[in-house]
A = this chain, B = another copy of it.
Amino acid sequence: MSDDTKIFLSESEMPQQWYNVQADLPSPVPPCLHPGTGQPLTPPDLMPLFPMGLIMQEVSQERWIDIPDPVLDLYKLWRPSPMVRARRLEKALGTPARIYYKNEGVSPAGSHKPNTAVAQAYYNKEEGISRLTTETGAGQWGSALSFACNVFDLKCTVYMVKVSYQQKPYRRSLIQTWGAEVFASPTDRTNAGRGILEKNPDSLGSLGIAISEAVEDAATHDDAHYSLGSVLNHVLLHQTIIGEEALKQMAIAGDFPDVVIGCTGGGSNFAGLALPFVREKFAGRDIRLIAAEPTACPSITRGKYAYDFGDTVQMAPLAKMHTLGHTFVPAGIHAGGLRYHGMAPLVSKLVDDGVVEAVSFSQNPVFDAAVLFAKTEGHIPAPETAHAIRAVVDEALKCKETGEAKCILFNWSGHGHFDMAAYDAYFAQKLIDCELPQADIDEALTHLPQVGG
């Protein structure tokens, strides 16, 4: 087994293909349905919003999909990302477990998001689109897409939830530095935004509203498409480069994970690491795959596996997924990237099939783990990432009890440099540990649409 702390791959060892788990599922993922008709979506339904290259990936059953050379070239700005053995964390925990993490915080935007952002920008550019629109809450996705559009010489319009625009000015600055235009949503640029402002001029916005604005902007302009940072099959596909690299790095380390862990909001960073290990599990390897979510938004652990709208305002397609109901509004936890009412259909299917399991944590135990990580391994994790770390710490402590020397691999999805206010709140003991009442979930689930199987 390697003595190194960090396992690097050379650029020539970087995977050249994304892995499409759809090729290996025992039964297919239920199709998405048209929000108006309730009928299965067809590729033409998606053409106003997405380029054909991405639509075909969305429904592809091919196991391997070549990564285009221009995307590979851009990946080389930060990939292959390091796989790191967290020896100092292991020592602090006194665990016999071996803990490894994939450091996706080394990307320009500081998270895994650019893995799909550059791919999406590429396919849109190829098909003659000149502008992408998107929404962003805390700003992780908006900054990643701004970066990606810049390198492919596309314009980029970001609708940023107004409260974040005001409270997180530095992610907004990041978006602007890479060249995107960014608006505090609700804006007066769209019917959706104007409608909200008419009713409530002081609206602080929401992700649901921002999505509606971004989709409307793209749908009403021929030169523009819309871009989503998680949930969809093609987004998860692009993230599989993380797990494919990890498989090669584990081979170099002379080790192999018994447990693979990631945090889940829409599901893309977890899936990016986990799906290649799902393939290994299907091939007979004994691996546990654990999704770590917040108790404030527990779509897997407490939601229902059912058809639901992807967005709050019922404009987006219906997907069969673990959902808390599209009207569910999660508490304002600091892990903004995990505040989505649903879960990627692919991840949901794997949960339903018993392949993936899930755990949930509230904020204070999550930040206990984040600070322990920062103090031992140095790097400051994002609040989202800290959910995965909490799960890792718990698994490692179980190993301490049982004496089992398990190998744990997790996705360090991003750094927390723009989230220090959350650390301040933690140290000031101002973080609330959300106890979500069952009645709230039950109420939200009554709004599920009556369609699908």
A interface residue numbers (CB < 8 A to B): 4-6, 8, 10-12, 76-78, 88, 106-108, 110, 147, 150-151, 169-170, 173-174, 176-179, 371, 374-375, 377-380, 415, 417-418, 420-421, 423-424, 427
Contact = CB atoms under 8 A, between A and B. Distances in A.
Nearest to A415: B417
Q: How many copies does the complex hold?
A: 2
A178 B374 contact: yes
B176 A427 contact: yes
A165 to B, nearest CB: 13
Nearest to A106: B106
A147 B374 CA distance: 9
A423 B377 CA distance: 30
A196 B377 CA distance: 39
A380 B76 contact: no
A378 B78 contact: yes
A77 B421 CA distance: 25
A375 B174 contact: no
A374 B4 contact: no
A179 B375 contact: yes
Contact of A371 (B169, B177, B423): B177
Contact of A77 (B5, B76, B420): B5
Contacts of A4: 10-12, 76
A5 B78 CA distance: 9
Given A5-B11, A379-B108, A169 B374 contact: no
15 contacts: A6-B76, A108-B374, A110-B417, A151-B378, A169-B420, A170-B420, A173-B421, A174-B420, A177-B371, A177-B374, A177-B380, A177-B420, A177-B423, A177-B427, A417-B417
A212 to B, nearest CB: 28
Contacts of A147: 378
Contacts of A378: 77-78, 107-108, 147, 151
B424 A173 contact: yes
Contacts of A420: 169-170, 173-174, 177
